[in-house]
Amino acid sequence: NELAANVETKPELITRAEKIPFEVIKKEKPNLPAGQEKIITPGVEGERTHYISVLTENGKQTETVLDSQVTKEPVTQVVEIGAPITHKGDESGLAPAAEAKPRLDIQEEDIPFTTVTRENPQLPLGQTQVIVTGVNGRRTIFYSVSTTADGKEERTLVNSAVSQEAVAQVVEVGTAVEKAEQTAPTTAKADEKQLPATGSQDSAGLVAAGLMATLAAYGLTKRKED
């Protein structure tokens, strides 16, 4: 008995499988008779394995779950069901054709950038330089697309939004003009000669003397006639 008491009891590892039930998805089928079901994809159960440690002491077992793993994934069962009759006169029991719903069509287009030109007096005349490079923007357009009875598609604009703003391009144009050396023309001034004041006085004296001589001669002539 003492020897048996000294023997250490080791736990035993066992595995236990557990089934995982599959899910069932049902969807209406307009062309299927009302109330009728049709399995499209059969369901398959999965399996989960548990790893258990079993310890036996004094004839009593104690189980401890060490780990659990899904060893087989379940397969979902897909079932189609005939849509209920909603129209009178449907003697064949077929559901009416489902109404086609419009779909959303999203498109994008570029927004061209604008160019801004400004003068730069520090830049040589006629020369240009790009200060800011232009970048196109983006506009997102939302259309509603529906199919008519004759199979044609109709597009209706629902909304449009600018998803990226355009960046304007800035260009500078030179206006500076190189100044040529200018030489001031030299003008020769003619020397102006002024007559002396005495010349005018001499002329006046000569005129007076001539007048006196004329009067004197006139007096002499008059006397001779007398």
94-145 pLDDT per residue, tens:
545 556 688 888 889 999 999 999 999 999 998 999 999 999 999 999 888 8
- Scan for tokens 């790009």, then name that residue: 130
Question: Mind spelling out the 3-state secondary structure of 126-154?
Answer: CCEEEEECCECEEEEEEEEEEECCCCCEE
Shared-domain flag, residues 75 and 141: no
Q: How many CB atoms lie within 10 A of CB 95?
A: 22
Residue 8 lies in a domain: yes
Domain's final residue, options 54, 84, 114:
84
Shared-domain flag, residues 64 and 122: no
Domain's final residue, options 29, 50, 84:
84
Shared-domain flag, residues 73 and 131: no
Shared-domain flag, residues 70 and 1: yes
Residue 226 lies in a domain: no
How confident is the model over 58-67, as pLDDT tens digits? Answer: 888 888 988 8
Residue 203 lies in a domain: no
Rounded to whole angstroms, the Cα distance separating 79 from 81 reads 7
Shared-domain flag, residues 6 and 80: yes
pLDDT (0 to 100) of residue 174: 92
Shared-domain flag, residues 75 and 117: no
Question: Model's pTM, two decimal places?
Answer: 0.34
Residues 6+ apart with CB under 8 A from 91: none
Shared-domain flag, residues 107 and 174: yes
Percent of the chain with pLDDT over 90: 27
Q: Are 47 and 71 in contact (CB under 8 A)?
A: yes
Question: In which band, very low, low, confident or very high, does the pLDDT at 208 lie, cut at 50, 70 and 90?
Answer: low
Domain's final residue, options 84, 117, 152:
84
Shared-domain flag, residues 77 and 109: no
What's the structural domain count of the chain?
2
Least trusted range by pLDDT, from 10-14, 35-39, 77-81, 91-95: 91-95
Assess whether pLDDT exceeds 90 at residue 170: yes
| Over residues 68-94, mean pLDDT | 73
Residue 187 lies in a domain: no
Residue 132 lies in a domain: yes
Q: What is the mean pLDDT of the chain?
A: 77
pLDDT (0 to 100) of residue 9: 75
Shared-domain flag, residues 106 and 74: no
Write out the residue range of the structural domain in which residue 131 sits: 99-178
pLDDT (0 to 100) of residue 148: 79
Residue 51 lies in a domain: yes
How confident is the model over 21-59, as pLDDT tens digits? Answer: 999 988 888 777 877 888 989 999 999 998 898 888 888
Residue 22 lies in a domain: yes
Residue 116 lies in a domain: yes
Q: What is the CATH number of the domain that holds 73?
A: 2.20.230.10
SS3 state at 136: coil
Residue 197 vs residue 151, higher pLDDT: 151
